[in-house]
Amino acid sequence: MIYRIIFFSFLCISAPIFGQKEEAQAHIAALTNIEMFGRGYVNNGHAIAANYLANEFSKYNLTPIFENNFFQEFNIDVNTFPTEIDVIVGGEKLIAGKDYLLDPQSGSASGTYSLFKFDIDSISNFLAKQLDLPLKTAIVVDVSTIKSIDTLSMLNELKYELVKLFPVIWLNNEKFTWSVSSSELANPIIQMRPLNLENQHKIYLNFKNELLKDLTTKNVIGKIPGRKEKFIVFSAHYDHLGMMGSAVFPGANDNASGTSMLLSLANYYAKKKPKYNMLFIGFGAEEVGIKGSYTFVNNPPIEMDKIKMVINLDIVGTGSDGIAIVNAVEQEQNVKKLISINSSKKLFNKVKIRGQAPNSDHYWFSQKGVPAIFIYTLGGVKAYHDIYDIHETLPLDKYNDLFTLLIKLVKKL
């Protein structure tokens, strides 16, 4: 109940009228608020975020594309870690997201495990020996000093064999970058630092994964009627990674920033009579494998050949080093228009041209022959898919410039 009360209180934040950046700060603060649980699948964070978008759409008087609501529902499988995670070494409880990450596919574990250090130089010995290891053993694979890509990929494959029987502790000093999985393993894989296990022989693990099957999530779709038949589509995924035990992944840059830009644009065009029909889509389940846009293009609520262009926004909270455009090579004509607006208005110091990549929601549109680009910003904070992607450090210093660029681009389409 308390969540509902708090949620209601930030629903009441009315969209400020003093400029897009200030509007963005309010939206991003709301979308990254703990009460949205990282917009993932623990405590229904994704549904709370979808309701936030729908509520904003109705404030701006957007037209629902379906009978009487803004939602296009679809089902996903998703592996979650809804309860507290205990990883205790030498009497010290390690901190989720800071000291370790559970591989998103991880299964459950409970109890004290003896650590068995995997020796890369005697793999065949090990493979013979592993069946004799006691039940409560966790296999430690230290890849922190391995340089060879071939060895690393061999060990990666082996990891998925080992985890069928034992928890695997994967030691390296790589950045912690989390994601979401639709499946579960028999045991967990835990990424941590070699330092955490120095001189240790045991580890205590206690946590439970929960694979949610056929969970209903949704796209949020609103329309502003235009004077012409064709559509311009703005899209941004509103979902993020959610929570891993008590660790929250707020996803300020990815993609509260793009969601906020979507809302800024909807709010702006709602007060105009635009040339084209404008469609605003907050996609769900992008982080689960670009599922929301896949659902949309395969069950399109509008005729796909009426879409003049899709502009997808994902990670747009920085920009001090410019912007990048994915699928720009194929969309050369439209991108040329964007580049010329950018130079004449002196907005960004660089427009990086990229080819196609299946890395966000523009992709499925392109696959169906619909002109689509994906814009993200460059420079500024480096936090990505980790607990540090927070709104307090997101610069938004080029947010108004991106807004201007998009408005001017639509005029030229």
> ∠ CA 54-59-60 to the nearest 5 degrees?
100
**232 phi and psi angles, rounded to 5 deg:** -110, 130
Strands 351-353 and 322-326: parallel
The alpha carbon of 83 is separated from its chain's Cα centroid by a whole number of angstroms, namely 21
> Taking the complex as a whole, how short is the minimal distance between the CB of residue 383 and Zn ion, in angstroms?
13
319 and 397 in contact (C-beta within 8 Å)? yes
**Residue 103 or 254 having the CB closest to Zn ion:** 254
Minimum distance, C-beta of residue 177 to Zn ion, in the bound complex (Å): 12
18-48: buried (b, 16+ CB within 10 Å) or exposed (e) per residue? eebbebbbbbbbbbbbebbbbbbbbbbbbbb
Least distance between Zn ion and beta carbon 314 (Å): 4
CB of 411 to Zn ion, least distance (A): 27
Helix (H, G, I), strand (E, B) or coil at 100: strand
Residue nearer to Zn ion on the CB measure, 106 or 257: 257
8: alpha, beta or left? (left if phi > 0; alpha if psi -120 to 50): alpha
- Which is nearer to Zn ion, 385 or 398 (by Cβ)? 385
Position of tokens 């069950």? 299
Q: Cβ of residue 75: shortest distance to Zn ion, in angstroms?
A: 21
CB of 268 to Zn ion, least distance (A): 23
Q: How far is the CB of 315 from Zn ion (least distance, A)?
A: 6
Among candidates 51, 48, 46, which has minimal Cα distance to 70? Answer: 51
Please check whether residue 85 is in contact with residue 246, taking contact to mean a CB–CB distance below 8 angstroms.
yes
Nearer of residues 254 and 386 to Zn ion, judged by Cβ: 254
Do 241 and 179 contact (CB within 8 A), yes or no? Answer: yes
Whose Cβ is closer to Zn ion: residue 140's or residue 261's? 261
CA distance linking residue 144 with residue 67, whole number of Å = 55
Q: Report, in Å, the least distance between residue 260 CB and Zn ion.
A: 13
| Residue with smaller CB distance to Zn ion, 56 or 314 | 314
Q: What angle do CA 164, 167, 170 make, to 5 degrees?
A: 110
* CA–CA gap between residue 81 and residue 243 (Å, rounded): 7
CA–CA distance from 53 to each of 65, 218, 282, 302, 368 (Å)?
14, 11, 7, 20, 26
Q: How far is the CB of 294 from Zn ion (least distance, A)?
A: 15
Considering only CA atoms, give the Rg of the chain: 23
Of the pair 137, 179, the CB lying nearest Zn ion is at: 179
Long-range pairs for 29-37: beta carbons < 8 A, 24 or more residues apart: 29/391, 31/238, 31/251, 31/252, 31/256, 31/259, 31/260, 32/250, 32/251, 32/252, 32/256, 32/390, 32/391, 34/248, 35/3, 35/6, 35/7, 35/10, 37/242, 37/243, 37/248
Kindly list the residues in this chain that would bind Zn ion in the complex (CB under 5 A). Answer: 254-255, 314
Task: Tell the smallest beta-carbon distance from residue 285 to Zn ion (Å).
Answer: 11
Closest to Zn ion by CB, 106 or 255: 255
If the CB atoms of residues 23 and 314 are measured against Zn ion, the closer one turns out to be 314
Q: Which CB, 87 or 241, lies closer to Zn ion?
A: 241
